[in-house]
């Protein structure tokens, strides 16, 4: 009996939730054109910049933007795409969780003539309108060059890596090391003291940095492959009482919390991914295509800029 009651409860709960969703979308105007925005992971605050950019630009151009959150699970996105197609969206802007999971679902959308723009990561499927991505390799190089300028005499560097094997980890790290690592650039005056893995998140980066602070007394630079890790690194330095060591902390992304820490002097710089540009540009491409069939470049690399340079 109890089991049945709880089951009923859960089912009714589901209905309520589904019901809410329906009324929300149904109340919007029928004739308004719709763009589906599929985000890989809104749990990462940084991607909110991208989301907001798409939503704002969409609104400006008169679109309704349906936002889906993939919650960092590649398996969720295909059904979200199907759902979007069902709802009759006119275009899809997707930040895919990986390069293959959504291929079939997107093929279906493309077959129905729905323009697809992928941002930040590509999908292995033909017929995508455009793929907008930060030039991570160039960004890494730019960061390295910034560091060379800042410390012309060189220094001892900790490299905090993201999730091993992902494209941003390889490219940001590769670009940075091509300038800083003496093994790759004979002219470099720097030394790579240690490499640690922070998995692109704060707690592991903080823990790894705490360990490395116990190991080394002479760290002059930490390059973290994203800002979330940089914040963890800065926190570890602060709580270890090593704020006076003058360690230069470099992040990547241009997240709000990084700017805050830069203002407080706990971080030095971050390489800013221009998500505002990427987001609004993606909407522009879609809009142009829907209006007169204009096709943008199939792959557009977007430059980063250092936070203190703009």
Q: Which residues bind another protein (CB under 8 A)?
A: 2-3, 6, 42-45, 48, 69, 71-72, 161, 164, 194-197, 201-203, 206-208, 210-212, 214-215, 228, 231-232, 235, 239, 257, 260
Dihedral, 15, 18, 24, 28 alpha carbons, nearest 10: -120
User: Cα Rg for the chain, rounded, in angstroms?
Assistant: 22
- Shortest approach of another protein to residue 52 CB, angstroms? 11
Q: How far apart are CA 239 and CA 223, in angstroms?
A: 19
- Shortest approach of another protein to residue 215 CB, angstroms? 5
- Shortest approach of another protein to residue 307 CB, angstroms? 17
Judged by CB, which is closer to another protein: 106, or 158? 158
Q: How far apart are the first and last CA of the chain?
A: 66
Q: How far apart are CA 302 and CA 131, in angstroms?
A: 10
Judged by CB, which is closer to another protein: 79, or 239? 239
CB–CB of 158/193 below 8 Å?
yes
In DSSP terms, 272 is beta-bridged to: 253, 305
CB atoms within 10 A of CB 33: 16
Judged by CB, which is closer to another protein: 231, or 271? 231
- Shortest approach of another protein to residue 207 CB, angstroms? 5
Judged by CB, which is closer to another protein: 255, or 278? 255
Helix (H) or strand (E) holding 253: strand 248-253
- Shortest approach of another protein to residue 150 CB, angstroms? 25
Judged by CB, which is closer to another protein: 55, or 69? 69
């Amino acid at each position: 009996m109890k089991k049945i009651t709880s089951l009923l409860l859960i089912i009714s709960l589901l209905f309520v939730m589904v019901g809410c969703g329906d009324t929300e979308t149904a109340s919007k105007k029928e004739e308004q054109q719709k763009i589906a925005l599929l985000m890989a992971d809104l749990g990462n605050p940084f991607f909110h910049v991208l989301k907001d950019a798409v939503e704002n630009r969409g609104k400006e151009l008169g679109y309704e933007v349906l936002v889906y959150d993939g919650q960092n699970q590649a398996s969720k996105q295909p059904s979200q795409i199907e759902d979007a197609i069902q709802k009759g969206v006119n275009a899809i802007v997707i930040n895919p969780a990986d390069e293959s999971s959504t291929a079939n679902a997107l093929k279906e959308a493309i077959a129905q003539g729905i323009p697809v723009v992928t941002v930040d990561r590509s999908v292995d499927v033909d017929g995508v309108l455009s793929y907008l991505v930060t030039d991570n390799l160039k960004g890494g190089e730019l960061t390295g060059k910034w560091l060379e300028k800042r410390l012309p005499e060189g220094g001892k560097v900790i490299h905090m890596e993201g999730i091993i094997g992902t494209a941003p980890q390889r490219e940001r790290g590769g670009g940075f090391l091509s300038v800083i690592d003496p093994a790759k650039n004979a002219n470099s005056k720097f030394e790579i003291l240690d490499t640690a893995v922070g998995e692109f998140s704060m707690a592991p980066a903080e823990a790894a940095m705490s360990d490395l602070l116990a190991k080394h007394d002479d760290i002059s630079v930490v390059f973290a492959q994203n800002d979330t890790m940089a914040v963890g690194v800065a926190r570890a330095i602060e709580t270890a009482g090593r704020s006076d060591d003058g360690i230069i902390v470099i992040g990547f992304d241009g997240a709000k919390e990084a700017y805050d820490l830069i203002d407080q002097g706990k971080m030095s710089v971050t390489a800013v991914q221009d998500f505002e540009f990427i987001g609004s540009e993606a909407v522009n491409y879609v809009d142009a295509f829907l209006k007169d069939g204009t096709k943008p470049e199939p792959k557009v690399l977007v430059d980063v800029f250092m936070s203190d340079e703009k």
